[in-house]
Amino acid sequence: MNMDSNTVVLSLLVFLTCAPRCIYSEERHLVKMNLVRNALSLGAYCLDGSLPAYHLDRGFGAGARNWLLQFEGGGWCNDIKSCLDRAQTHRGSTHYMSKVEVFSGILSNNASLNPDFYNWNRVKLRYCDGASFAGDAKFDNGTSLLYFRGQRIWQAIILDLLPKGLGQAKKALLSGCSAGGLATFLHCDNFTNYLPKNASVKCLSDAGFFLDARDIGLNHTMRYFYKDLVALQGVEQNLDKNCTTSNPYPAQCFFPQYALPYIRTPFFILNSAYDVFQFHHALVPPAADPHGHWYHCKLNPAACNAIQIYTLQGFRKYMLETLRFFLNSSRRGGMFINSCFAHCQSELQDTWFAPDSPRVNNKTIAQAVGDWYFGRNISKEIDCAYPCDNTCHNLIG
Ligand X SMILES: *[C@@H]1O[C@H](CO)[C@@H](O)[C@H](O)[C@H]1NC(C)=O
Question: Which of these segments, 15-23, 85-93, 138-146, 382-390, binds ligand X (CB under 6 A)?
Answer: 138-146
Among 11, 38, 98, 219, binds ligand X (CB under 6 A): 219
Contact 346/204 with Cβ under 8 angstroms? yes
Q: What is the spatial distance between Cα 324 and Cα 118, in angstroms, rounded to a whole number?
A: 32
Residue 82 binding ligand X, by CB under 6 A = no
Which residues lie below 8 Å from residue 368, measured CB to CB, with a gap of 6+?
270, 334, 336, 360, 379, 381
Partners of 381 in beta bridges = 336
Catalytic site residue from 187, 280, 281, 343:
343
Catalytic site residue from 82, 104, 178, 339:
178
389 assigned to active site: no
362 or 390: whose CB is closer to ligand X? 362
Residue 216 binding ligand X, by CB under 6 A = no
Pairing of strands 137-140, 66-71: unpaired
* Alpha carbon distances (Å) from 17 to 22, 98, 122: 9, 24, 27
Kindly state the helix (H) or strand (E) to which residue 384 belongs, with its residue range: none
Contact 82/126 with Cβ under 8 angstroms? no
Residue 80 binding ligand X, by CB under 6 A = yes
Residue 190 binding ligand X, by CB under 6 A = yes
Residue 391 binding ligand X, by CB under 6 A = no
354 or 396: whose CB is closer to ligand X? 354
Residue 329 binding ligand X, by CB under 6 A = no
Q: What is the spatial distance between Cα 217 and Cα 256, in angstroms, rounded to a whole number?
A: 23
Smallest distance, Å, CB 233 to ligand X? 15
Question: Which of these segments, 126-134, 189-197, 337-345, 384-392, binds ligand X (CB under 6 A)?
Answer: 189-197
Which residues lie below 8 Å from residue 135, measured CB to CB, with a gap of 6+?
129, 148, 149, 150, 151, 232, 233, 234, 235, 238
In degrees rounded to 5, what are phi and psi of residue 271?
-160, 150
291 or 324: whose CB is closer to ligand X? 324
Question: Which of these segments, 10-18, 39-47, 90-98, 196-204, binds ligand X (CB under 6 A)?
Answer: 196-204
372 or 386: whose CB is closer to ligand X? 372
* Alpha carbon distances (Å) from 218 to 213, 224, 309: 9, 13, 17
29 assigned to active site: no
Residue 291 binding ligand X, by CB under 6 A = no
178 assigned to active site: yes
Smallest distance, Å, CB 302 to ligand X? 25
Contact 222/212 with Cβ under 8 angstroms? yes
Q: What are the residue ranges of helices labelled H in the chain?
A: 8-18, 39-42, 80-86, 150-161, 179-194, 221-233, 241-246, 256-259, 276-278, 295-299, 306-328, 349-352, 365-373
Question: Which of these segments, 108-116, 272-280, 309-317, 331-339, binds ligand X (CB under 6 A)?
Answer: 108-116
Among 17, 82, 221, 345, binds ligand X (CB under 6 A): 221
Among 13, 106, 199, 365, binds ligand X (CB under 6 A): 199
For the chain, state the CA radius of gyration.
20
Among 328, 356, 375, 384, binds ligand X (CB under 6 A): 328
Residues involved in catalysis? 178, 275, 343
Residues engaged in binding ligand X (CB under 6 A)? 27, 80, 110, 112-113, 141-144, 170, 190, 193-194, 196, 198-199, 217, 219, 221, 224, 238, 242, 262, 264, 287-288, 324, 328, 361-362, 377
